[in-house]
Structure 1
Amino acid sequence: MSAILSSDDLNDFISPGVACIKPVETLPKQEDYNPYEVTTEDKVQAQNPAPASISLTDCLACSGCVTSAEAVLVSLQSHTEVLNTLDTHPALKLDALSPSINGHTTADNAPGPQAKLFVASVSPQVRASIAATYGISEKRAGYMIEQFLSGSQGLRIGGQHNSGFQYVIDTNRMREACLILGAEEVDQAMVDDDKKKPLLTSACPGWICYAEKTHPHVLPHLSGLKSPQALSGVLLKSVLSKDFGIQPSQIWHLAIMPCFDKKLEASREELTNKWWDGSTPGDAIRDVDCVITSRELLSLANARGIVLSQLPLRPVPAAHRPIFPDARLSRFLFSPPSRRTTMQSNPEAGTSGGYLHHVLLTHQTRHPGSRIQTQRGRNADVIEYQLLDASDQIILKCARYYGFRNIQNLVRKLKPARQSKLPGAAVRRAAPKDTGNDLAYIKIDDVKDILPETRAEELVTPASNPGAQKEWQKRVDEAYFSMSDDSGDEEDCDLLADGDDDVQMSNGDHATGKPDEEVVNGVNVTQVKDMLRHWSTLVGVPLQTLAYTTYRKVESDVGKKKAKTMGDTERIAAIAGLSGGGW
């Protein structure tokens, strides 16, 4: 979904073909505009970027189901919003906030009302896109982004308060948690008779929007697990507010993600502190305050007059980074790249999270001698996976669906048979034979030929040159799957958490673990589960509340008469303000 949205002529729902969020006749004329381009800062214009061309995934997210309130909330998330927030609020001085007792600070070290703790999370797809743009490794792209966000030569050189981001984390760490929790959710669904099967999941927030507003009958099938973006937001705000004794509203979380739909996800009312901390007074505060894409990151650098390619390609020195208040979580969040999970280096896992791959491998480890068999479904964009035991009996069946048409077909198959309203009448139509109920888990992805989660504005080649597009995609894929070819750099030692022996990864490699620890798909399951239990205990909130979300059927009122007590623009502005998040 585009971030360039208008508040003119709003309805509660924007109807396709009547009031599309990006009507062609209202778009400004674009000269040589390439919606698939990430432009380096020497080419980025000072004005707002032009809107991206509509794509299949835009239709998936829109399709008459994007409310005007959501449109306004999404449009507020931009690099301009980042600059305005940094200029408005000074960075909270952490040296005056020793970890508090019982979640409270004393009057002597209480922060000023305008001060904020700035935190950021960066996805691996963004690092891969930046790496391909500048011809560097994925790891060095991560260093470049970290130097820009929190280093002395980055955002801190300008603005009214010289503010930068005090903590920058890799969403890969919370993705490990999501993989493990996702496998457990599949286990639970297989034994829970009340859970609709198959369990559906997707890396695209547009899929949730599509299901809630057009096909609510599939909601019982949806995985309730939060995304790595959302889980990173909950962890940062819950832990930092607890340990520093500050309100969640004093923590401002920026997520740098690969697609515009992540802005839509961050705007969901379920992803606020009210869902995990109902005791906090005041309005609901988003777990993720703002989402920008790779291209907007370059616009942010250009607005500050910073050339990313001139930043040091090494970590921010430990002496310049504040100590994370909880040592155990610091070990998990800030372990050096050489100790990170190896799952990202496996192309079989895909680029949209590797959830299905991890589910299959988890079950395979429980059945020695089993094997995974892959076969084509009804067409080339439907792939089915079977885990077979030594006697070729099926242990688990999963599938991956690519493309909007296949998703529509899946949704139709899951629709329950309609009952006649006449007393004693039989079912009006029989349920289709192939309902997909023999599948335990289905992963829904965007169009196969585009790197999932790396969409419209993210690719760097001319859209009119398919060969160049494929070459660019190959470069991004190589950067994503390689992780790093120079993981043994001396700079890695700086990432050990501030010289604190208790914080260093002294218990062995994260990926391999101890002999008595469970490791699946390069993920140390034992360590991650221990971290999740520790997090839940630390903040006093059940893990089920922290890690899972809910969905709801949303009714469209297009064409219905509404009481108009205030102007549409004023009404939506009021909704935006009440939804929380520092606007």
Structure 2
Amino acid sequence: MAFSGALTLSDLNDFISPSQACIKPVEVAKTSETQGAIKVDNSGSYYEVSQDGLETKLETATISLNDCLACSGCITSAESVLVTLQSQEELYNILQQNKVAIETNDRSTHRTVVVSISPQTRASFAAKYNLTPLQVARKLTWFFKNLGVHMVFDTSFSRDLALLETGREFVSRYRKAVAKGVIKTPNLDGSAPESTTAAGDMELDTPQEVAPKPRKRIVRRGAASDEPAAAVETESAMPMLASACPGWICYAEKTHGYMLPYISETKSPQQIMGSLVKNHFGSLHGLTPNQIYHVCVMPCYDKKLEASRSDFYSDLYQTRDVDCVITSTEVEKMFGEQGLTDMSAFGERDMDLGYNSVIKDPSTGQDQVLVGAAGNASGGFLEYVMQYAARELFGIDGVDVDQALGVEVKTVRNADFKEVTLELPGQPGAEPLLKFAAAYGFRNIQNLVRKVKTGKSPYHFVEVMACPSGCINGGGQLKQDTSIPLKDWIIQVDEQYRNGVMARKPEDNPALAQLYREWLGGVDTPKAKEQLRTGYHAVEQNLVNPLAVKW
């Protein structure tokens, strides 16, 4: 039934109000089997009244900024529908559809099912079931193949591509920022450089300084105080901020649009894997993208939202690069649904070669060994970009952030904020060549955003992650036993992330050079940018409390 013409709804949009949609659970401690009544006094305070009349004031449930950052309550209703379509039930439906297609000999509805597993998921299962990461990879391959999945890959492979592209993008930005006067390169003789113009305070280039050319996204300050300090051009914006965390990207797009030029345009490992599977893998096997159903197993629920972005949807084939994201906890739930309880008792199968970071053991030539980039459990972006930039920009080799070789590493303010500084060899106390940071958790992100907006950020690159402790502590990871403190559990999972994985630089992965040459036609080609880069979009919102709408 339509509304009366006299009634008007104003200031409404597609966003769900936090007052209705906040999903943070509140733990209620039960002191007895029988609960008393709830009383509300004149001030609005709540009291629990026991059966003997004793009143106990109830604490107000609070929602911290950390809780809000990765909460789905502020996604649009359209996005929420897309996210709910991504579950193990959808995977079951596709597998059942394939079974029927084979039984009826109707290949038109059959789809090749590919599952890509994140290294953080491997680590989570390894810690819980006391297995090695390689055992987990082989057991998950066995599990998914028994369900009817055709291929099982590992996103450590696509992470190599993401790291290489991020390193190249940073070096390109740095050089352009120097050419435009946004930053100054410290003198290699150890003397102090001229004063550096911060990214937030820079002036636009004049035609005499730089030849006119098409510009990428520019954000220009107006009268509003919530906008950046000056015009910012993506190709030379500093600091460059990592883009692998969808919680951070969602937050930036919907609350701080002026931050978008600073964010790396390199796709996340998940979405690069989507490009590989739907385009390269498909072409090798004579399949169109819509004939492949691609599932990613991730440590984070926000990865579902990332997969649903319109940027990663093909209008031509009516399909997404990643059709479905299921989390580590959802995979464990699938075990129970299949009548399996103890992962240690699973069988094992060799992982599929091709897009896997797995090689034959160089010492025996037989057993499989996992390989991957060194660095922290959020992907090692800071570590790799620092190493890559030191070599490409200053000719400095041997940098190792994990071992603090060639760099100074220190924790600032809290365990989730780290600074890494590259100094000129043999010149202690000289102006640093590069200054990077890792900012995890909402409090640190807020401080970073504030400094970038005011032009006071001292960093060249920042690895940004929404979750405290990073991806290894993602909301979709397996939960620890209640007897284990969370801090100790994160340490255990982090150790498993690194355990049994042979460190290898992305550029030493022989398959990547072949991919660039045969699939992308080179490093900086239009196709390479189409498949490996993306863009971001400021989203305007005006959240209102639906309960306050006047009729």
Instruction: Specify the alignment match of 2:266 in structure 1.
Output: 225
Query: CA-to-partner distance for each residue in 1:437-465, whole Å, 9 max, x for gaps?
Result: x42111112454x45243334243256x5
Instruction: Specify the alignment match of 1:387 in structure 2.
Output: 422
8 Å CA contact retained: 2:520, 2:528: yes
8 Å CA contact retained: 2:358, 2:371: no
CA 1:66–1:523: 2 relative to 1, 3 Å:
same
State the distance in 2 between where 1:255 and 1:54 align.
Answer: 30
Among 303, 324, 338, the alignment partner of 1:262 is 303
Query: CA-to-partner distance for each residue in 1:534-583, whole Å, 9 max, x for gaps?
Result: 22149x9710100011101111144499xxxxxxxxxxxxxxxxxxxxxx
State the distance in 1 between where 2:356 and 2:69 align.
Answer: 33
- Residue 58 of structure 1 deviates from its aligned partner by 4.3
Among 527, 533, 543, the alignment partner of 1:548 is 533
- Residue 184 of structure 1 deviates from its aligned partner by 0.5
Instruction: Specify the alignment match of 2:508 in structure 1.
Output: 524
State the distance in 2 between where 1:522 and 1:235 align.
Answer: 16
Instruction: Specify the alignment match of 1:401 in structure 2.
Output: 439
8 Å CA contact retained: 1:65, 1:209: no
| Structure 2 counterparts to residues 45-124 of structure 1, below 5 A | 57-62=66-71, 65-90=74-99, 112-124=107-119
Instruction: Specify the alignment match of 1:22 in structure 2.
Output: 23
- Residue 384 of structure 1 deviates from its aligned partner by 1.7
CA 1:19–1:139: 2 relative to 1, 3 Å:
same
8 Å CA contact retained: 1:14, 1:20: yes
Instruction: Specify the alignment match of 1:310 in structure 2.
Output: 345
8 Å CA contact retained: 2:153, 2:355: no
Query: CA-to-partner distance for each residue in 1:276-304, whole Å, 9 max, x for gaps?
Result: xxxx3x53x11111111111112222222
Among 446, 460, 463, the alignment partner of 1:440 is 460
Instruction: Specify the alignment match of 1:574 in structure 2.
Output: none
Q: Which runs of 5 or more structure 2 residues have no equivalent in the other structure?
A: 1-11, 32-61, 178-232, 363-368, 400-405, 547-551
Amino acid in the other structure paired with 2:14: D
CA 1:332–1:114: 2 relative to 1, 3 Å:
closer
For these two proteins, the number of residue pairs brought into alignment is 425
8 Å CA contact retained: 1:91, 1:116: no
TM-score by length of 2: 0.69
State the distance in 1 between where 2:389 and 2:377 align.
Answer: 21
State the distance in 2 between where 1:296 and 1:197 align.
Answer: 38
CA 1:535–1:560: 2 relative to 1, 3 Å:
farther
State the distance in 2 between where 1:368 and 1:541 align.
Answer: 31
Q: Report the structure number with the largest CA radius of gyration.
A: 2
- Flag the structure with higher strand content: 2
8 Å CA contact retained: 1:178, 1:226: yes
Give the match's secondary structure for 1:452: helix
Among 473, 486, 489, the alignment partner of 1:472 is 489
State the distance in 2 between where 1:210 and 1:381 align.
Answer: 18
Query: CA-to-partner distance for each residue in 1:155-176, whole Å, 9 max, x for gaps?
Result: 1xxxxxxxx1111111001111
Residue 489 of structure 2 corresponds to residue 454 of structure 1: no
State the distance in 2 between where 1:453 and 1:54 align.
Answer: 23
8 Å CA contact retained: 2:139, 2:346: yes
Amino acid in the other structure paired with 1:458: Q
CA 1:15–1:192: 2 relative to 1, 3 Å:
farther
What is the root-mean-square deviation of aligned Cα atoms in Å?
3.4
Amino acid in the other structure paired with 2:258: H
CA 1:255–1:447: 2 relative to 1, 3 Å:
closer
Instruction: Specify the alignment match of 1:336 in structure 2.
Output: 359
- Residue 92 of structure 1 deviates from its aligned partner by 8.2
State the distance in 2 between where 1:74 and 1:169 align.
Answer: 23
State the distance in 1 between where 2:509 and 2:88 align.
Answer: 36
CA 1:22–1:129: 2 relative to 1, 3 Å:
same
State the distance in 2 between where 1:272 and 1:395 align.
Answer: 40
- Residue 359 of structure 1 deviates from its aligned partner by 1.1
CA 1:199–1:14: 2 relative to 1, 3 Å:
same
Instruction: Specify the alignment match of 1:290 in structure 2.
Output: 324
CA 1:188–1:125: 2 relative to 1, 3 Å:
same
CA 1:400–1:476: 2 relative to 1, 3 Å:
same
CA 1:185–1:86: 2 relative to 1, 3 Å:
same
Instruction: Specify the alignment match of 1:498 in structure 2.
Output: none
Query: CA-to-partner distance for each residue in 1:57-86, whole Å, 9 max, x for gaps?
Result: 541134874111111211221111211221
- Residue 402 of structure 1 deviates from its aligned partner by 2.4
Instruction: Specify the alignment match of 1:99 in structure 2.
Output: none
Query: CA-to-partner distance for each residue in 1:161-215, whole Å, 9 max, x for gaps?
Result: xxx1111111001111111111111101102244211000154211110000100
State the distance in 2 between where 1:88 and 1:55 align.
Answer: 43
- Residue 223 of structure 1 deviates from its aligned partner by 0.6
| Structure 2 counterparts to residues 215-254 of structure 1, below 5 A | 215-254=256-295
Among 430, 446, 451, the alignment partner of 1:413 is 451
- Residue 229 of structure 1 deviates from its aligned partner by 0.8
| Structure 2 counterparts to residues 349-360 of structure 1, below 5 A | 349-360=375-386
8 Å CA contact retained: 2:23, 2:71: no
CA 1:142–1:216: 2 relative to 1, 3 Å:
same
8 Å CA contact retained: 2:69, 2:466: no
State the distance in 1 between where 2:100 and 2:117 align.
Answer: 20
Instruction: Specify the alignment match of 2:239 in structure 1.
Output: 198
CA 1:526–1:249: 2 relative to 1, 3 Å:
closer
CA 1:478–1:54: 2 relative to 1, 3 Å:
farther
Amino acid in the other structure paired with 2:98: H
State the distance in 2 between where 1:286 and 1:232 align.
Answer: 12
8 Å CA contact retained: 1:13, 1:65: yes
Among 165, 178, 181, the alignment partner of 2:162 is 178
State the distance in 2 between where 1:474 and 1:384 align.
Answer: 20
Q: Percent of pairs identical after alignment?
A: 35
8 Å CA contact retained: 1:459, 1:472: no
- Residue 410 of structure 1 deviates from its aligned partner by 1.5
State the distance in 2 between where 1:92 and 1:216 align.
Answer: 46
8 Å CA contact retained: 2:111, 2:291: yes
8 Å CA contact retained: 1:14, 1:64: yes
- Residue 314 of structure 1 deviates from its aligned partner by 4.4
State the distance in 2 between where 1:273 and 1:218 align.
Answer: 27
CA 1:523–1:400: 2 relative to 1, 3 Å:
same
State the distance in 2 between where 1:236 and 1:82 align.
Answer: 17
Give the match's secondary structure for 1:386: strand
- Residue 412 of structure 1 deviates from its aligned partner by 1.9
Instruction: Specify the alignment match of 1:491 in structure 2.
Output: none
State the distance in 2 between where 1:91 and 1:55 align.
Answer: 48
Give the match's secondary structure for 1:460: coil
- Residue 379 of structure 1 deviates from its aligned partner by 5.4
8 Å CA contact retained: 1:138, 1:480: yes
Query: CA-to-partner distance for each residue in 1:251-278, whole Å, 9 max, x for gaps?
Result: 100111111111111111111234xxxx
Among 410, 414, 425, the alignment partner of 1:375 is 410
TM-score by length of 1: 0.66
